[in-house]
Each structure stands twice: as C-alpha cells, then as structure tokens.
C-alpha cells in the first residue's frame, strides 16, 4: 500500500490521452479531496424454490414460470465515500458534511442520503416511483458539494450487461456439491479493446428468496482498496474468474451469484484528486443449488 495514492495518480496519468489539459491534471494530482463511488445495478430475477430443490413445482404457468415462482426485485444501489487525503500512504479522512448526488446524462439527478463517516448512499427497487434507474451507455457524474465548492467525478459509457453462460444452464440453475468451486468464463472482447472490470458476489438465499450476507465477494470494501483499483485494475479484468468452494458452504442450499461488469472513471473537476475511483455497472445473475 506504500505511496498508493500517488501511484494510482501516476498510473491514471499514463493512461490519459496526449491532448489532455496538463494544468488541470497537475491540479488534480495535488488536490486534497478524494472520492470513491459506485453505482451498481441488478435486474429482476425469478426462481422456483421447489424446482431448485429437485421436486415437482406443480403445473407450469402460462408465462413459463412455476406455480411457486418468486421474484427478487432488480435494484440499483449507489454508494459514495468522500474525504480528504491523509498524506501519501494513509487512508483518507472522511468528510461527513457534504451534499452528494449523481447526475445522469438524461438530466436525472439522484440525491444520496448522508450515512455519516463520509459515506453517502441510496438503494432503489426498479419498481419504485422516482427510483434509481440504470442506463447503459450513459455518462454519470458523481457530485459532492462541501464548503461552497463542488467536486465532480465522472464515468462515461456505462457498460451493457455481460452474459456469463456458466450461470445459465438448461436446468435454469447450477448444481454443485457443497464447498465445490465455480469457474466463470467471460465473453471474448475484440482485439485492442480493453476488458471492463468484473466483480463477483455470492449471496445465500432463504426459503422466500431473501438474500443473506455474502459468502464471497471480490469487490473492494474499503476506500483505500478502491483506490488500489486505479493502480492495479488487471486483477479484475481477467477472462476467467474462479469462485472458491467456500462461497457455497452449506449442502441443500440455494445461492445467488451476481457478476457485475463495471466501467471505471475518475476525477472530472480540477479540485478532485486524480486517483479517485468511480465505478458504474450492471449485473448478470445465476442460481446455484448445492448437494
């Protein structure tokens, strides 16, 4: 982690087009305010607990589902950490007195709730009026207003859903032995096209489809870990992803696997640190039933 923040900025600078505004870039490298933000979307997903348990679910419905079909609502969740850099090596110090929103390309503005300790967030079901809506191809601006100034980060060209074939077998769900790992193969990309970031999270499911605490995730958890993404993104750009068997610990249980395809952005205004990490993406989903 030593000198991580400056390393992140230096890496981002190397990736900047030659026509960049070097005065703006220089200001961003010296800027004290830093932002880490995510906006992740998942679609609606339906399943039959009885069918996944291996029993007859009764007469199929006319829409192709089962009599006991249950739906986990799609959601879009936004989270922002806003703080002040603590030298070159320490974790950023949180700023809890900001007003934070996300501005979407079509003019929609999404206010985030102040959760304290420099954290701001909002989560919406797709069906809620005025809820957060994800739009692939859109540009998202993350804005923090504090002390009379506005600090802006940006993610351009939000990615479309990336379908993972291993999550969609003919049976409708993946069968595994408890503590058996699962390998996901991402679709190929065109030559000279950079692969988007890929994050995996596994949730245990209750009998009514409620999600428990994750049993596995490779999503960074702390602001400093997100900043490390800027310097070392290759770990999340691999074509093959191995989920360990510990993600599926209990026999006779159901799990929801989410694969987030994510594009990363950074500072847009010249008063925000160049190494700020902002992520926007949407997810493919699949079910696992353990034996």
For 2-32, write each residue's pLDDT tens digit: 344 444 444 444 444 444 577 898 899 999 9
Predicted TM-score (pTM) of this structure: 0.83
Which ranges in the chain belong to alpha helices (H)? 4-14, 22-30, 49-52, 223-231
Q: Under a CB-based contact definition with an 8 Å cutoff, are residues 115 and 133 in contact?
A: no
| Chain centre to alpha carbon of residue 197 | 9
SS3 264: strand
Mean pLDDT, all residues of the chain: 85
Q: Under a CB-based contact definition with an 8 Å cutoff, are residues 259 and 199 in contact?
A: yes
SS3 18: coil
Quick one: pLDDT band at residue 226, thresholds 50, 70, 90? confident
- C-alpha 251/C-alpha 249 separation (Å) is 7
- Could you say which DSSP state residue 226 is in? H
Helices 4-14 and 22-30: crossing angle in degrees, nearest 10, is: 170
Pairing of strands 33-42, 277-290: parallel
The C-alpha angle with vertex 80 and arms to 124 and 133, in degrees rounded to 5, equals: 30
**CB neighbourhood size of 37 (10 A):** 27
- C-alpha 140/C-alpha 159 separation (Å) is 12
What is the tens place of the pLDDT at every residue in 156-169? 999 999 999 999 99
Q: Under a CB-based contact definition with an 8 Å cutoff, are residues 37 and 230 in contact?
A: no
Pairing of strands 174-176, 45-47: unpaired
Which ranges in 222-262 belong to alpha helices (H)? 223-231
pLDDT (mean) for 191-200: 94
Pairing of strands 182-185, 197-205: unpaired
* pLDDT at residue 88 in the model: 65
* pLDDT at residue 131 in the model: 56
- Please tell me which residue, 62 or 102, carries the higher pLDDT value: 102
* pLDDT at residue 51 in the model: 65
Domain ranges of the chain: 4-290
Q: Under a CB-based contact definition with an 8 Å cutoff, are residues 243 and 183 in contact?
A: yes
Q: What percent of the chain has pLDDT over 70?
A: 83
């Amino acid at each position: 982690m030593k000198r991580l923040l400056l390393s992140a900025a230096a890496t981002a600078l190397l990736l900047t087009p030659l026509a960049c505004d070097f005065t703006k870039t220089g200001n961003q490298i010296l800027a004290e305010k830093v932002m880490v933000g995510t906006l992740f979307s998942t679609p609606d997903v339906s399943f039959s607990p009885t069918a996944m348990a291996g029993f007859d679910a009764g007469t199929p419905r006319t829409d192709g589902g089962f009599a006991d079909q249950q739906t986990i609502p799609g959601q879009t969740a936004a989270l922002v950490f806003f703080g002040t850099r603590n030298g070159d090596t320490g974790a950023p110090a949180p700023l809890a007195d900001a007003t934070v929103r996300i501005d979407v390309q079509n003019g929609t503005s999404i206010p985030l709730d102040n959760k304290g300790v420099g954290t701001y967030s909002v989560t919406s079901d797709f069906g809620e009026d005025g809820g957060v809506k994800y739009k692939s191809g859109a540009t998202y601006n993350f804005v923090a207003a504090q002390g009379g100034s506005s600090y802006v980060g940006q993610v351009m060209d939000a990615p479309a859903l990336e379908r993972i074939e291993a999550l969609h077998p003919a049976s409708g769900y993946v069968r595994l032995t408890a503590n058996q790992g699962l390998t996901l193969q991402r679709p190929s990309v065109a030559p000279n096209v950079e692969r988007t970031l890929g994050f995996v999270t596994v949730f245990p499911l209750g009998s009514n489809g409620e999600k428990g605490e994750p049993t596995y995730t490779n999503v960074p958890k702390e602001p400093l870990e997100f900043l490390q993404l800027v310097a070392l993104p290759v770990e999340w750009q691999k074509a093959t992803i191995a989920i360990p068997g510990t993600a599926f610990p209990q026999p006779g249980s159901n799990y929801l696997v989410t694969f987030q395809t994510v594009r990363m952005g950074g500072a847009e205004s010249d008063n925000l640190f160049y190494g700020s990490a902002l992520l926007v993406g949407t997810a493919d989903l699949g079910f696992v039933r353990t034996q």
